[in-house]
Chain A
Amino acid sequence: MQELQQDTRRLPESVEMGSLMDALADSFTVEIEGKRSSVAAWYDTFDWRLYNHGYLLRHGDRHWHLLDRGSGETLVTSRAGTGRKRVFARDLPAGRLRALLEPVLDVRALLLLVTLQSEETRIRVLNRDRKTTVFVEFSRQQVRGTDTVLRLVRLVPVRGYDKPLRAVRAFFDEHGITGQVPLFYDFEQGLRAVGRAPGDYSSRFAIRLDPDLTARQAAITIYRHLLDTMLANEEGILRDLDTEFLHDFRVAIRRTRAGLAQMKKVLPADITATMKEEFAYLGRITGPVRDLDVYLLKERDYRARLPELLQEGLGTFFTDLAEQRRVEQKKLVRALRSPRYRQIVTTWDEYLRSDDPTPSAQGDVPVIDLARRIIRRRFKRIMKDGRAIDDSSPDEHLHRLRIQGKKLRYSLEFFRSLFPEDEVGSVIRQLKRLQNNLGDFNDLSVQQEMLARYLRGLRPGSRRNMELAAAIGGLLTNLFHEQQRVRKRFARTFSRFGSRKNVALFRKLFY
């Protein structure tokens, strides 16, 4: 089918819809269909995964419609029940829609962004055979929960009937209805009415620092961005919408802590010290739920690691974890509603706005000098520690190196906008590879420790606990083997990171 050209126009305030329809009926042979009401609910993840992927997702009339944002084409229509406020990929009807969206959504939930309630009257423009040649759709759309109303007329062409289409277009032009609106105008206006905008949140840390800033100004910019990220994720954590709100929240905490440690003398000593402590506290209260999320998200992976015989025991394990998470989530919500939390966030927020004149040791250094010094120091440290690791080094050394890697990564990300993008990008890519190896290694040991702890806590006796213990034992073995494989890959991964080319690039950028 040829892509039908979109022609939707906004009715000026002065135009009365009814009289316009009458005028249309006077000028053409038409058939007016009865009024129809419909509801269009738009969904995306908090971080706009569908939008960024070129999709839009609408629910209405008990169907999902997946649309191509560029062309307006409907990619999939799929039957569904009534729309809910939160939908995971697994809640979508099995079939093409789910198959397309599952990899895009991953663990993120689709959330209801905005709902438009619309009243439509469709008029068919007919030829002498009473064949439809153009559809004219008048609609009045109300953005739910707001005063915003859109009044639109849409001309839908029928393939092969260009002449009548031109005549209908001319009719609207003559009546002063010329204001063509872009594709998905309703979606955009709806979002605007509820105070959202596509891409208004991203979990990527992306800020532009002006190279002329002082270290202090740059630090404030960075902390501001991180605090905004935390605040943006608060509601999703409290409502427990999906696991990534907490994840992003914790990453922002960790980045802030890394900043406070690395840019130690950039803010006055007392505020740095206080905030270090406060953010450590935030890390602590948010830890338990995240740890449990990590395991719960691994359910499929764990199941794949064990034979049929041990699956039942594993089921018990996950039921247990889910129960623990429920308890921990409650505690987390209480903590985030507590005065202490509000106090921390407000103090920091106010401080970042305050333009505090108290001098600090390194506040006035140009940011570029600070950036180079921090990155240089981190890099040297990694090279030294990494080179010292061989096949007989204790696991502890790899764990330490992982922390070093993380610190380097954070500082590279803080300051990447000060350096040529492709070169920093390349440095970060190399570092990522190393981090993946170290991260896997660490994850696998943390998992084993957790499982071992869980195992020790089991009371022997019941059949249920025996099966559970067997499953845990199976997992432990499997994870242990994998960890050894990961460890074997370390040497090669590190030597790539420490390649002459990569070292030269570091020197060029940061020395």
Chain B
Amino acid sequence: MSVIAVYNIKGGVGKTATSVNLSYLSACQGNRTLLCDMDSQGSATYYFRIRPAKKFNTRKLLKGGKHIDRNIRGTDYPGLDLLPADFSYRNIDIALDDLKKSRQRISKILKPLREEYDHIFLDCPPNVTLLSENIFHAADRILVPLIPTTLSHLALGQLLDFLKEIGQDRGKVLVFFSMVEKRKKMHGEMMRLLRDEPGVLPCGIPFLADVEKMGIYRQPVAAMLPNSAAAESYRVLWDAICGKLERP
């Protein structure tokens, strides 16, 4: 059983695309899988054609238990469930701040779900917030999609510093390259530079139009186009992650 948070301080790096495809692949292997959409924008929810119930909101999420159970939805794929995001999550930091043990709340509400599922994915919004701090506490693994550029590298440094600051194990972090463009010289150089760093997975997701089109057909690319290069690269990534999950 593991909780895998897909996170990056920067936005638009492929976090949601990754969460959607990896959770799908996990379920395909027979793992009972839950994807929690933690981003008020609800992109992951949208990709699975799900709408949150009218009554679901931040308050319900933070109460946990049956309030969450009731709002989990089955996707179109056996073994894969989703906890939709609600627009009200945009103020979730304020709600968290009002609570006791405001940094462990997400960890607490995930506890019963850990029994029910083999893998739980958290699709996170960008930025460092109280929510993300919660997520770092709750996660067994923090999966970081990294576009191989200098700026992204700096952001990764920031993340690692922050984890250290809040006393979280940096060994939780797994980095992979995202939206890789072969033609860009800088991508190649950055990847060579980072390849041997601890926690960096030896695989990447190329920048591919098929991934972008997910917004149109509203399915994981691995389900819609199982024979595409995009699907294959997510499968390779998932295998590499599974290898790390077994041997911490």
Contact = CB atoms under 8 A, between A and B. Distances in A.
B37 to A, nearest CB: 14
A104 to B, nearest CB: 21
A160 interface: yes
B163 interface: no
A36 interface: no
Contacts of A129: 49-51, 218
Contact of A160 (B30, B73, B218): B73
Contacts of A132: 76
12 contacts: A1-B32, A1-B117, A74-B30, A129-B49, A129-B50, A129-B218, A130-B49, A131-B48, A158-B73, A160-B53, A160-B71, A160-B74
Interface residues of B, number: 19
A159 interface: yes
A160 B72 contact: yes
A76 B30 CA distance: 8
A161 B74 contact: yes
A159 B81 contact: yes
Ranked nearest first, the 4 interchain pairs of A and B with the lowest CB-CB distance are: A131-B49, A159-B74, A158-B74, A160-B73
A124 B218 CA distance: 16
A77 interface: yes
Given A1-B116, A77-B30, A158-B73, A131 B81 contact: no
Given A1-B79, A129-B50, A158-B73, 9 more contacts: A1-B116, A130-B49, A131-B76, A159-B73, A159-B81, A160-B53, A160-B72, A160-B73, A161-B74
A124 B74 contact: no
Contacts of B116: 1
Of B49, B53, B72, B79, most A-chain CB atoms within 10 Å = B49
A154 to B, nearest CB: 13
Contacts of A158: 73-76
A160 B75 CA distance: 10
A2 B117 CA distance: 10
Interface in B63-107: 69, 71-76, 79, 81
Contacts, number: 37
A149 B138 CA distance: 51
Contacts of A74: 30
Contacts of A159: 72-74, 81
Contacts of B71: 160
Nearest to B113: A1
Interface of A: 1-2, 74, 76-77, 124, 129-132, 157-161
Contacts of B218: 129-130
A160 B79 CA distance: 14
Contacts of A1: 32, 79, 81, 116-117
B214 to A, nearest CB: 15
A1 B119 CA distance: 12
A161 B51 CA distance: 11
A125 to B, nearest CB: 11
A131 B72 contact: no
Interface of B: 30, 32, 48-51, 53, 69, 71-76, 79, 81, 116-117, 218
B239 to A, nearest CB: 14
A82 to B, nearest CB: 20
A190 to B, nearest CB: 23
A2 B74 CA distance: 10
A431 B25 CA distance: 56
A131 B30 contact: no
Contacts of B69: 2
A82 B97 CA distance: 57
A161 B49 contact: no
Contact of A131 (B32, B50, B53, B117): B50
- Considering residues B32, B51, B76, B81, which has the most beta carbons from chain A within 10 angstroms of its beta carbon? B76
Contacts of A157: 74
A1 B79 CA distance: 8
Contacts of B50: 129, 131
A375 to B, nearest CB: 52
Nearest to B117: A1
A289 to B, nearest CB: 41
Contacts of B49: 129-131
A457 to B, nearest CB: 50
B212 to A, nearest CB: 20
Nearest to A129: B49
Nearest to B51: A129
Contacts of B48: 131
A77 B31 CA distance: 9
Contacts of B74: 157-161
B95 to A, nearest CB: 24
A66 B49 CA distance: 32
A64 to B, nearest CB: 11
Interface core residue of A76, A130, A160, A161 (most chain B CB under 10 Å): A160
Contacts of A131: 48-50, 76
Nearest to B80: A1
Centre residue among A1, A74, A132, A161 by max chain B CB count within 10 A: A1
A4 to B, nearest CB: 8
A74 B69 CA distance: 21
A157 B78 CA distance: 10
Nearest to A63: B30
B78 to A, nearest CB: 8
A167 B108 CA distance: 37
A36 to B, nearest CB: 14
A77 B50 CA distance: 28
Contacts of A161: 73-74
Contacts of B117: 1
A61 to B, nearest CB: 12
Contacts of A124: 76
B143 to A, nearest CB: 23
From A76, A129, A157, A161, name the one whose CB has the most chain B CB atoms within 10 angstroms: A129
B56 to A, nearest CB: 10
Nearest to B79: A1
A158 B78 CA distance: 9
Contacts of A76: 30
B117 to A, nearest CB: 7
A105 B211 CA distance: 47
A166 to B, nearest CB: 16
Q: Find the residue from A77, A130, A131 having the highest chain B CB count within 10 A.
A: A131
